[in-house]
């Protein structure tokens, strides 16, 4: 019986939790280095956990309040009898709280292990590149497998508990609250973490590197611990919450679309396919992760052309390709097992499951394309980053101008790839012929084509666990570099951690690209799911047409695109405000306590690190509320005042604008960051005329740390920091939050505009 396949995601999800526990045990058994290294690591751990405790207490209060409001609104203004309204209200509220709790738990535990992994990576770097790479990757994988498995378990268990096997047509709409809860927590977690990390980073860089002329992660910098803490709360907890809600919201959206196909075929496989494919993706990700081990890593030898960063990136890429290859096999297997029913035919005599397997493959190939495109725009070996590095030769102004130009340019290729993937997956799905589907007989929608885009989205998300492991790898290696520097380790260890940090910058950029790519595919999927929900209430095929010539739809669409820019402005401004306080504090400490900068090490005193941590914490928690509320309340107000069709216009145009702006912010910021790293690695070489040479030209003069181009690179990196780590990633969440809010509150909009 096809319904029994619901146990696949449940069992695989439980096994993935055990796998995460195994990885955590492997990492935590590693040695923790010298007492000096442990002192730094303990300070990072204390700061990170203190911030997360305060942040999640704030989010918990907001989440409980939101759940009560949603339940009250649906109970009072929902559709149907009083019993139907009450049933929808309590199911949605409980699912909301479960989604919020799972999101918080996955981010919390994952960050705990990530923070514990940094010192173990630093210690491993004193022995070999391979061991350091493996410890950092597996430390990041704890978070990634917890995030994906808890998302999968949450959706599958809530679906089953809400009677999904008894009444498959009703359950998906009842579990929408799970996705809304995950999105709600993810928005504030990503905002708070992003504001915290960039306030600390900007303060540490501008005062430390430019004004005080001291190296990165120098213990004399009062903001250095806050900076290292920020890497974890922004990139570990924040990104984990982001991809948790991605997998949850997109699974639920695809399941809602599957209801129409279930109605036509009575095959529950259409509804169960998304979580089953996600489960197969977890298995594929585990296989790719286990490939990366010290025995396959060549040790660096610059004389032989084996740069440590390039070696590490190559191994991570191989693991990713293994994951993708297994995912392609898995998506065909899932489609064969669940979609191979009677009454469904495909063009040219090709079975329906093959067409949908090909659509899933398109999504997997899109994820690979995003990896290459993002690497091209953010890795130091390619033209865009080297172009920004060359611009530093003429100062900060040209550095910023060139970086903005690169940021605008980098939107084109990803959007083109998204368009091709959407069009191709829709075409492949359209080759499947269904029995007559109620509500679609007028020909206004192509249900099988839309489901093709849903399978493509699921295919892209199959590698989510591996991609997120590469993302969390970034802050772990960044922290490891700081611990190595502040712990007084040998230069050879710092070379390894610097190389892994540079790779981590690229993998973090890859994850942002991957996140926005999956969000782009999901935008159409969730938009279609919203229209399906409207039809289920109105039973009018006209809801599938959103007319921009309608004045209310046009107004809502304009508000939607404006929301993206206004939200980004609030997020970036919040970083600027918090960074201003940080800069003032760092300057005050260096001015009032000259012994911090004493010439002799034995004469120095430690700065007040805790004061800087507290400034970042208070600044982030205050500043995350306004942009978060703007993102949550805007679609609600538009739906209440202008109605459900206008809300569809806001959803459509707002998600399009969010995709483009997020690409601009993410890749532009990543390119600025790696241009600075390019200079710090000693690759900026010039001839006697001051013209930039090839990075390995032996005849050039190296302009590295403390040079004027380096200072210009730091300024560019500072501009890009809130782009790539605060506003950009937060937009990923906003895009999907718009959809989950509209799905949950659709009954309200319909009740007010019958």
| C-alpha–C-alpha distance, residues 34 and 123, integer Å | 8
List the one residue out of 279, 273, 200, 206 whose CA is nearest residue 234. 200
| C-alpha–C-alpha distance, residues 501 and 674, integer Å | 10
The DSSP secondary structure of 53-97, one letter per residue, reads: HHHHHHHHHHHHHHHHHHHHHHHHH-SS-HHHHHHHHHHHHHHHH
* The model scores a pTM over 0.85: yes
Task: Please compute the mean of the pLDDT values over residues 157-163 and round it to a whole number.
Answer: 90
| pLDDT for position 329 | 97
Tell me what percent of the residues of the chain surpass a pLDDT of 90: 29
Contact 515, 374 (CB under 8 A): no
| Residues ≥6 apart with Cβ < 8 Å to 386 | 380, 675, 678, 692, 695
The DSSP secondary structure of 159-184, one letter per residue, reads: HHHTTTTT-TTTHHHHTHHHHHHHHH
| pLDDT for position 439 | 46
Per-residue pLDDT of 405-431, as tens digits, reads 999 999 999 999 999 999 999 999 999
Tokens 């610059």 correspond to 302
Phi-psi region of 488 (alpha: psi -120 to 50; beta: other; left: phi over 0): left
Contact 402, 435 (CB under 8 A): no
List the one residue out of 236, 239, 230 whose CA is nearest residue 616. 230
Per-residue pLDDT of 498-524, as tens digits, reads 888 878 877 877 777 787 888 788 778
| pLDDT for position 298 | 60
Q: What angle do CA 223, 224, 227 make, to 5 degrees?
A: 85
> For residue 222, what is the DSSP state?
T
pLDDT at 131 over 90: no
Size (the chain), residues: 754
Per-residue pLDDT of 369-415, as tens digits, reads 988 888 888 877 788 998 999 899 999 999 999 999 999 999 999 99
Q: What angle do CA 244, 320, 458 make, to 5 degrees?
A: 45
Pair of tokens at residue 487: 């712990």
Residue 685: strand, helix, or coil: strand
292 confidence band (pLDDT: 50, 70, 90): confident
Residue 508: strand, helix, or coil: helix
| C-alpha–C-alpha distance, residues 17 and 138, integer Å | 14
Beta bridge partners of 301: 306
C-alpha distances in Å from residue 243, one per residue of 130, 145, 634: 28, 11, 23
189-193, 295-299, 543-547, 641-645 — most confident range: 641-645
Pair of tokens at residue 192: 């708070």
| pLDDT for position 444 | 53
| C-alpha–C-alpha distance, residues 682 and 524, integer Å | 45
| pLDDT for position 657 | 94
The DSSP secondary structure of 616-641, one letter per residue, reads: HHHHHHHHTHHHHHHHHHHHHHHHHH
Beta bridge partners of 345: 433
295 confidence band (pLDDT: 50, 70, 90): low
| pLDDT for position 437 | 53
| Residues ≥6 apart with Cβ < 8 Å to 397 | none
Contact 580, 606 (CB under 8 A): no
Tokens 């977690």 correspond to 189
| C-alpha–C-alpha distance, residues 209 and 718, integer Å | 11
**What is the chain's mean pLDDT, rounded?**
85
List the one residue out of 48, 244, 258, 272 whose CA is nearest residue 150. 244
| pLDDT for position 442 | 39
Per-residue pLDDT of 697-723, as tens digits, reads 777 788 888 788 888 998 898 889 889
| pLDDT for position 306 | 58
Pair of tokens at residue 559: 């508000």
| pLDDT for position 55 | 83
Tokens 């209430």 correspond to 537
| C-alpha–C-alpha distance, residues 14 and 17, integer Å | 5
Beta bridge partners of 702: 685
Give the residue, 663 or 300, on which the prediction is more confident.
663
Give the residue, 306 or 222, on which the prediction is more confident.
222
pLDDT at 438 over 60: no
| C-alpha–C-alpha distance, residues 384 and 374, integer Å | 11
443 confidence band (pLDDT: 50, 70, 90): very low
Contact 231, 472 (CB under 8 A): no
Per-residue pLDDT of 325-379, as tens digits, reads 999 999 999 999 998 776 677 888 899 999 999 999 999 999 999 888 888 888 7
| pLDDT for position 296 | 55
Tell me what percent of the residues of the chain surpass a pLDDT of 70: 95
Other C-beta atoms within 10 Å of 726: how many? 33
Per-residue pLDDT of 255-265, as tens digits, reads 888 887 887 78
Residue 548: strand, helix, or coil: coil
| C-alpha–C-alpha distance, residues 132 and 119, integer Å | 10
Range of the domain at 622: 2-298+306-752
Residue 266: strand, helix, or coil: coil
List the one residue out of 177, 187, 201, 275 whose CA is nearest residue 237. 187
Residue 605: strand, helix, or coil: coil
| pLDDT for position 441 | 37
Q: What angle do CA 434, 644, 241 make, to 5 degrees?
A: 80
pLDDT at 641 over 90: yes
Give the total number of structural domains in the chain: 1
Give the residue, 604 or 307, on which the prediction is more confident.
604
| pLDDT for position 690 | 73
303 confidence band (pLDDT: 50, 70, 90): very low
Give the residue, 153 or 535, on which the prediction is more confident.
153
Q: How many CA atoms lie within 13 A of 304 on its CB side?
A: 7
pLDDT at 650 over 50: yes
| C-alpha–C-alpha distance, residues 101 and 608, integer Å | 35
pLDDT at 86 over 60: yes
| pLDDT for position 440 | 43
Pair of tokens at residue 413: 């290729």
């Amino acid at each position: 019986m096809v319904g029994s396949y619901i146990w696949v995601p449940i069992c695989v999800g439980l096994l993935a939790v055990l796998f995460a526990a195994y990885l955590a045990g492997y990492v935590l058994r590693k040695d923790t280095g010298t007492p000096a290294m442990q002192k730094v690591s303990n300070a990072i751990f204390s700061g990170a956990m203190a911030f997360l405790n305060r942040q999640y207490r704030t989010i918990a209060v907001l989440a409980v309040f939101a759940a009560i409001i949603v339940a009250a609104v649906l109970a009072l203004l929902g559709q149907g009898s009083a019993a139907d309204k009450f049933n929808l209200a309590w199911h949605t509220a409980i699912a909301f709280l479960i989604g919020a709790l799972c999101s918080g738990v996955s981010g919390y535990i994952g960050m705990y292990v990530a923070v514990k992994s940094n010192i173990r990576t630093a210690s491993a770097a004193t022995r070999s590149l391979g061991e350091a790479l493996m410890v950092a990757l597996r430390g990041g994988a704890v978070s990634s497998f917890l995030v994906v498995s808890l998302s999968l378990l949450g959706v599958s268990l809530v679906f089953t508990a809400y009677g999904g096997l008894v009444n498959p047509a009703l359950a998906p709409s009842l579990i929408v609250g799970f996705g809304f809860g995950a999105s709600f927590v993810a928005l504030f977690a990503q905002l708070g973490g992003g504001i915290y990390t960039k306030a600390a980073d900007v303060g540490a860089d501008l005062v430390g590197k430019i004004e005080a002329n001291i190296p990165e992660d120098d213990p004399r910098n009062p903001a250095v611990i806050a900076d290292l803490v920020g890497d974890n709360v922004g990139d570990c907890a924040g990104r984990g919450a982001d991809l948790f809600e991605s997998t949850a919201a997109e699974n639920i959206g695809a399941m809602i679309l599957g209801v129409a196909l279930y109605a036509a075929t009575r095959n529950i496989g259409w509804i169960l396919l998304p979580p089953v494919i996600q489960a197969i993706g977890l298995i594929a990700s585990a296989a790719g992760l286990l490939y990366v081990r010290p025995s396959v890593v060549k040790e660096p030898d610059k004389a032989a052309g084996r740069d440590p960063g390039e070696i590490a990136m190559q191994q991570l890429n191989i693991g990713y390709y293994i994951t993708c290859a297994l995912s392609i096999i898995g998506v065909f297997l899932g489609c064969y097992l669940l979609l191979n029913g009677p009454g469904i035919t495909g063009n040219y005599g090709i079975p329906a499951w093959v067409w949908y397997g090909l659509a899933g493959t398109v999504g997997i190939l899109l994820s690979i394309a995003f990896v290459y495109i993002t690497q091209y725009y953010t890795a130091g070996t390619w033209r865009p980053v080297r172009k920004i590095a060359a611009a530093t030769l003429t100062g900060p102004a040209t550095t910023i101008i060139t970086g903005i130009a690169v940021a605008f340019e980098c939107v084109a290729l990803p959007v083109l790839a998204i368009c091709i993937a959407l069009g191709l997956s829709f075409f492949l799905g359209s080759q499947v012929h269904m029995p007559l589907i109620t509500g679609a007989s007028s020909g206004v929608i192509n249900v099988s084509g839309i489901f093709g885009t849903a399978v493509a989205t699921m295919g892209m998300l199959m590698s989510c666990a591996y991609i997120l492991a590469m993302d969390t790898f970034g802050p772990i290696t960044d922290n490891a570099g700081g611990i190595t520097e502040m712990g007084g380790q040998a230069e050879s260890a710092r070379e390894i951690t610097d190389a892994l940090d540079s790779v981590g910058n690229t993998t973090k950029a890859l994850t942002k690209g991957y996140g926005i790519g999956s969000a782009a595919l999901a935008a159409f999927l969730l938009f279609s799911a919203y229209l399906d929900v409207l039809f289920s209430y109105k039973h009018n095929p006209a809801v599938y047409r959103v007319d921009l010539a309608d004045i209310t739809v046009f107004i809502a669409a304009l508000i939607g695109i404006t929301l993206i820019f206004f939200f980004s402005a609030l997020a970036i401004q919040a970083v600027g405000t918090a960074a201003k306080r940080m800069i003032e504090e760092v300057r005050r400490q260096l001015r009032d306590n000259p012994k911090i900068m004493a010439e002799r090490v034995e004469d120095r005193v430690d700065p007040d690190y805790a004061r800087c941590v507290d400034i970042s914490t208070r600044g982030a928690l205050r500043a995350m509320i306004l942009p978060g509320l703007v993102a949550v309340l805007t679609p609600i107000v538009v739906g209440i005042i202008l109605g459900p069709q206008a809300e569809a216009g806001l959803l459509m145009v707002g998600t399009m604008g969010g995709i483009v702006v997020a690409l601009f912010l993410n890749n532009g910021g990543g390119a600025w960051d790696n241009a600075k790293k390019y200079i710090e690695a000693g690759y900026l070489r010039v001839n006697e005329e001051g013209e930039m040479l090839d990075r390995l030209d032996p005849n050039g003069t190296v302009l590295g740390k403390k040079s004027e181009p380096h200072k210009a690179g730091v300024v560019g990196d500072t501009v890009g920091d809130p782009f790539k780590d605060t506003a950009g990633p937060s937009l990923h969440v906003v895009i999907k939050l718009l959809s989950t809010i509209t799905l949950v509150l659709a009954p309200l909009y319909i009740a007010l505009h019958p």
